[in-house]
């Protein structure tokens, strides 16, 4: 492989580097003071979703250069390739058609000469029948027991998306079964979930694209044993208490799940983009099929916006370019996601996988090392909890941390006074991070509190807030299946934009493979197989664990 230099990325890259040097000393306060129309110009609205990106260290020249970079990298062409079914996943030689899963039923999307939409709609109809049967009481457990609990078994994209959506929209429809999620191979999670559940009233959905995922398979076996221990005959357990979603329908059948209980998915559905497929069956069980269809419709609306809006007015493009701007030109290494809504508490974890598994890459599409920073470390916590945990670092630490603040204007509860407290904190934090507090302002506030002289001056340095911390504010009119679908698709397309700019493939994940291979070997050694050669640390730890397991 021939290593490339950043200068090979083009003249625009060098112009952006120089522009950053010129803009770096300029405070966000000054940008607002010099440009009275900034807040109005740097905002977009789409069907109940508002994006305010005015609190960023950018000016008109920044956006001209970033959008020119997007055009130079042929972002419009890549967007069209994504939607048309071209093999944008070049290392696995296949398309990435999560957008087809939520496309208009009348659309036509061709893969290898075949329109895939009829197959997608056929699976959707099967989902609808299953959901109606379970929620309507026609699908019964052993002994005629109605299904009151659904346990989703999966990991990664087979868990994070469905769990996040189901929690976020738990108040949307309360007439269905209670949906639980098991992902970790650590049996403490499965044990806690199953405690108190009635075996004859519980349905398991095993989600695994390959049906060989270690964690999912182990939990599915344990669930099968749990049903057997309750006295449910094997054939009845598999027929009445198991559904599966997999691209490997043969392996699901070999596990014992009848073919009629297995829903297919396809190799062009990436795990972290799969909640729109039959992997979303647990979502549909929780919300009803109408709620699931509304979620798809929201994502479809964002898809249309991403595909057709000009770069200058395109929400995912703007978010993606901001990430490139801070990561590659300001050197920011992390990105905070801060939902000010308890219902969205799982959103940061979902976006960690979406972003870090997609763009955590060090080689370009052609296999050569990249000479620039790619995906950021994504992290976050629900507000206002985060304010009492890590906001100290955001306000007075030494790191530049771009942040997304996400809120919902109308809550599902009737406690409007508390909701004003929540929204007030969201708005205050974005303003405080942007403005900061100067030494003069600190002195004035200390003096107003009664301090004077040396006591006052001793406190000034501790009360200075540099500000100039960039943030995006995303506000939803209300959290509904439609607006949540839009929000998720917004972030999916943001990640794609950044992959295009960095010339990397966001749809593979080879980095997770090595650990899986080594784990299989070590699991066998923990079970008593002769140890292979390991480094001194691993060999010592292995021996200690083997001794403990032998007790």
Least confident of 52-61, 118-127, 166-175: 166-175
Mean pLDDT calculated for residue range 119-142: 97
Closest CA to 295 of 482, 476, 438: 482
Q: What percent of the chain has pLDDT over 90?
A: 93
Is the pLDDT score of 8 beyond 60?
A: no
Asked whether the beta carbons of 155 and 183 are under 8 A apart, the reply is yes
Active site residue 494: no
Active site residue 357: yes
- Give pLDDT, residue 244: 97
Is the pLDDT score of 390 beyond 90?
A: yes
Is the pLDDT score of 14 beyond 80?
A: yes
Mean pLDDT calculated for residue range 266-271: 91
CA–CA gap between residue 117 and residue 147 (Å, rounded): 31
Residue 415 CA from chain centroid, whole number: 29
Asked whether the beta carbons of 103 and 260 are under 8 A apart, the reply is no
Residue 34: which pLDDT band, with cuts at 50, 70 and 90? very high
CA–CA gap between residue 256 and residue 245 (Å, rounded): 13
Q: Which of 234, 399, 516, 520 is catalytic?
A: 516
pLDDT tens per residue, range 76-101: 999 999 999 999 999 999 999 999 99
Q: What angle do CA 11, 17, 23 make, to 5 degrees?
A: 135
Is the pLDDT score of 516 beyond 90?
A: no
CA–CA gap between residue 376 and residue 534 (Å, rounded): 32
Mean pLDDT calculated for residue range 451-457: 96
- Mean pLDDT score across all residues of the chain: 95
Helices (H), 53-180: 60-72, 75-84, 98-101, 117-136, 160-168
CA–CA gap between residue 436 and residue 395 (Å, rounded): 8
Active site residue 493: no
**Which residue is it, tokens 């095993």?**
206
Q: Rg of the chain's alpha carbons, rounded to an integer?
A: 26
Q: Which long-range contacts (CB under 8 A, 24 or more apart) does 516-522 make?
A: 516/214, 519/214, 520/214
Q: Which of 45, 225, 234, 388 is catalytic?
A: 388
Is the pLDDT score of 467 beyond 50?
A: yes
- Give pLDDT, residue 339: 98
Is the pLDDT score of 405 beyond 90?
A: yes
The DSSP-derived string for 390-411 is THHHHHHSS----EEEEEEEE-
Is the pLDDT score of 512 beyond 90?
A: no
Is the pLDDT score of 7 beyond 60?
A: no
Residue 1: which pLDDT band, with cuts at 50, 70 and 90? very low
Q: Which of 357, 361, 493, 494 is catalytic?
A: 357
Closest CA to 347 of 98, 506, 181, 165: 165
Mean pLDDT calculated for residue range 139-167: 97
C-alpha distance from residue 55 to each of 23, 38, 70 (Å): 14, 9, 21
- Give pLDDT, residue 27: 98
Three-state DSSP state, 241:
coil
The DSSP-derived string for 448-514 is HTT--HHHHHHHHGGG-B-----EEEEEEEE--HHHHHHHHHHHHHHHHHHHHHHT--TT--GGGHH
pLDDT tens per residue, range 290-337: 999 999 999 999 999 999 999 999 999 999 999 999 999 999 999 999
């Amino acid at each position: 492989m021939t290593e490339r230099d950043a200068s090979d990325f083009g003249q625009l890259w060098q112009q952006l580097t120089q522009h950053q040097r010129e803009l770096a000393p300029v405070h966000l306060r000054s940008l607002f003071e010099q440009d009275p129309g900034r807040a109005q110009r740097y905002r977009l609205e789409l069907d109940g979703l508002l994006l305010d990106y005015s609190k960023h260290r950018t000016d008109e020249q920044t956006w001209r250069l970033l959008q020119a970079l997007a055009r130079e990298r042929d972002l419009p062409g890549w967007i069209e390739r994504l939607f048309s079914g071209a093999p944008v996943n070049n290392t696995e030689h296949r398309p990435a058609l999560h957008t087809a899963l939520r496309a208009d039923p009348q659309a036509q999307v061709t893969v290898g000469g075949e329109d895939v939409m009829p197959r997608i709609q056929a699976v959707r109809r099967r989902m609808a029948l299953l959901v109606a049967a379970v929620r309507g009481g026609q699908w019964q457990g052993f002994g005629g027991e109605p299904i009151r609990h659904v346990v989703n078994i999966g990991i990664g994209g087979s868990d994070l998306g469905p769990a996040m959506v189901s929690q976020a929209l738990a108040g949307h429809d309360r007439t269905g079964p209670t949906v639980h999620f098991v992902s970790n191979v650590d049996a403490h999670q499965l044990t806690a979930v199953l405690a108190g559940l009635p075996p004859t009233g519980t349905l398991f959905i095993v989600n695994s694209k390959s049906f060989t995922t270690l964690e999912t398979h182990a939990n599915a076996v344990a669930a099968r044993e749990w049903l057997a221990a309750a006295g449910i005959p094997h054939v009845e357990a598999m027929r009445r208490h198991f559904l599966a979603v997999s691209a490997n329908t043969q392996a699901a059948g070999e596990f014992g799940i009848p073919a009629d209980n297995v829903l297919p998915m396809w190799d062009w559905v990436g795990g972290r983009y799969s909640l729109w497929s039959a992997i979303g069956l647990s979502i549909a069980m929780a919300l009803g099929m109408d709620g699931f269809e509304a979620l798809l419709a929201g994502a479809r609306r964002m898809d249309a916006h991403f595909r057709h809006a000009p770069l200058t007015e395109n929400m995912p493009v703007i978010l993606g370019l901001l990430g490139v701007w801070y990561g590659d030109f300001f050197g920011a290494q992390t990105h905070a996601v801060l939902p000010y809504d308890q219902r969205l508490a799982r959103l940061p974890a979902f976006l960690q996988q979406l972003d870090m598994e997609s763009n955590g890459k060090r080689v370009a599409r052609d296999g050569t090392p990249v000479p620039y920073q790619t995906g950021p470390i994504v992290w976050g916590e629900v507000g206002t909890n985060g304010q009492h945990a890590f906001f100290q670092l955001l306000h007075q630490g030494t790191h530049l941390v771009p942040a997304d603040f996400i809120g919902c204007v109308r809550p599902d509860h009737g406690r409007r006074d508390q909701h004003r407290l929540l929204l007030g904190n969201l708005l205050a934090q974005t303003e405080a991070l942007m403005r900061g507090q100067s030494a003069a302002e600190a002195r004035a506030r200390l003096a107003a509190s009664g301090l004077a002289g040396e006591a006052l001056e001793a406190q000034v340095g501790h009360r200075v807030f540099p500000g100039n911390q960039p943030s995006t504010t995303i506000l939803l009119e209300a959290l509904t299946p439609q607006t949540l679908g839009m929000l998720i698709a917004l972030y999916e397309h943001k990640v794609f934009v950044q992959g295009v700019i960095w010339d990397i493939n966001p749809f593979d994940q080879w980095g997770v493979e090595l650990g899986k291979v080594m784990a299989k070997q070590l699991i066998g050694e923990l079970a008593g197989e002769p140890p292979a050669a390991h480094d001194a640390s691993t060999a010592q730890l292995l021996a200690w664990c083997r001794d403990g397991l032998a007790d």
